[in-house]
Each structure stands twice: as structure tokens, then as C-alpha cells.
């Protein structure tokens, strides 16, 4: 009976530690997935760094936050999302990344977000969008 209790307690502790670790390795600013699903470039841009690199199938450039908002808004308008799913994320030091699949009625894309933590907040420094 005592061994079963220890086993259950150890198992519970392991789940708690896994959950805490998952929260600490979050690669995206809060709400990013929802903003993409809603095609809300304005709210998404609030998590952009002052300068952000956007890599699209047709062009690559570094933009100000406001310019990047317009570029992403244009992408959302041309490619209405039907499904957006986070498939992988990782972290090293203050930098992290997240990879997601973006499905539209006119094709599939792979989104890669590169982020960095600055002053306790996660900012998106790069968005790479590749046609699949």
C-alpha cells in the first residue's frame, strides 16, 4: 500500500514537472496561434520586434512592426486560413522557434517563427512562410 502511494505521488510529481517545463519552453507569445487562425495581423503585430524579417515565397525583407503588419495582412487576405496547427517548438537560451502548418483553400504553407525573450517578454523576430 505504501509503495503504491509513493508510486502515485512520484507519477503526479512527474506530470507537474512536465507541465511546468512545457510552459517554460513556450516558443510563441501568448495568443499567437489564435491571431493567425483569426487572420488578425494587427493583434499579431503587437508581438513583433521593432524590426522583423519576413520571408515569403515571393519576397524577403526586414520591416518595421507597422510595415510587417501590412505584409502579413496582405498574405492573410490572399491566403485565407482553413487550418493552422502548431507542430513543433523548441528553445535554446533566450531564443526559441515554432513550426506550424497553415492550410488554405489555395495551398499549404509552413510557418516558422523565430522569437527572442527581451525584458521578460517574447517577441517575434522572424516569420518564414514556405509553400509546401
Under the banding of pLDDT at 50, 70 and 90, the label for residue 118 is confident
pTM score of the predicted model = 0.79
Stretch among 13-17, 48-52, 59-63, 100-104 having the lowest mean pLDDT: 13-17
Cα distance between residue 100 and residue 129, in whole Å: 10
Place of cell 517578454: 121
Q: b/e for 29-62, b at 16 or more Cβ within 10 A?
A: beebeebbeebbbeebbebbbeebbbebeeeeee
pLDDT tier, 7 (very low <50, low <70, confident <90, very high otherwise): low
pLDDT in tens, 55-96: 999 999 999 999 999 999 999 999 999 999 999 999 887 789
Amino acid at each position: 500500500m505504501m509503495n503504491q502511494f509513493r508510486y502515485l505521488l512520484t507519477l503526479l510529481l512527474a506530470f507537474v514537472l512536465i507541465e511546468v517545463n512545457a510552459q517554460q519552453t513556450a516558443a510563441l507569445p501568448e495568443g499567437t496561434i489564435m491571431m493567425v487562425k483569426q487572420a488578425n495581423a494587427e493583434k499579431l503585430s503587437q508581438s513583433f520586434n521593432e524590426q522583423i524579417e519576413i520571408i515569403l515565397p515571393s519576397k524577403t525583407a526586414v520591416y518595421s512592426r507597422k510595415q510587417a503588419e501590412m505584409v502579413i495582412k496582405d498574405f492573410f487576405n490572399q491566403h485565407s486560413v482553413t487550418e493552422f496547427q502548431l507542430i513543433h517548438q523548441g528553445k535554446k537560451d533566450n531564443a526559441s522557434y515554432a513550426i506550424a502548418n497553415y492550410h488554405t483553400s489555395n495551398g499549404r504553407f509552413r510557418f516558422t517563427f523565430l522569437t527572442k525573450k527581451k525584458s521578460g517578454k517574447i517577441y517575434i523576430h522572424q516569420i518564414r512562410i514556405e509553400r509546401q
